[in-house]
Amino acid sequence: MLFDPEARLTRRYGMHKGGLYLFRPDGYVAYRSTRLDNLRAYVEDVLLAL
């Protein structure tokens, strides 16, 4: 979990009303959303595809 008190990630990635990001180990954004349940469904889909 990252906290962004200076809003650097907000400015860089453009999610101004709050949200969450899932970053790949190489630094790319794998997923972004404003809802936690959407992230859960995404991760389940990705894991099932493996």
According to the model, what pLDDT value does residue 36 have?
A: 83
According to the model, what pLDDT value does residue 33 have?
A: 86
For residue 33, give the nearest of 20, 23, 18, 17 by alpha carbon: 20
| pLDDT, tens digit, 9 for 90 and up, residues 2-34 | 777 888 878 888 877 777 888 889 989 888 888
Rounded to whole angstroms, what are the CA distances from 39 to 4, 5, 6, 25?
A: 19, 23, 24, 17
pLDDT at 1 over 70: no
Residue 36 C-alpha from the chain's centroid: 9
According to DSSP, residue 47 is labeled H
For residue 39, is it left (φ>0), alpha (ψ between -120 and 50) or beta? alpha
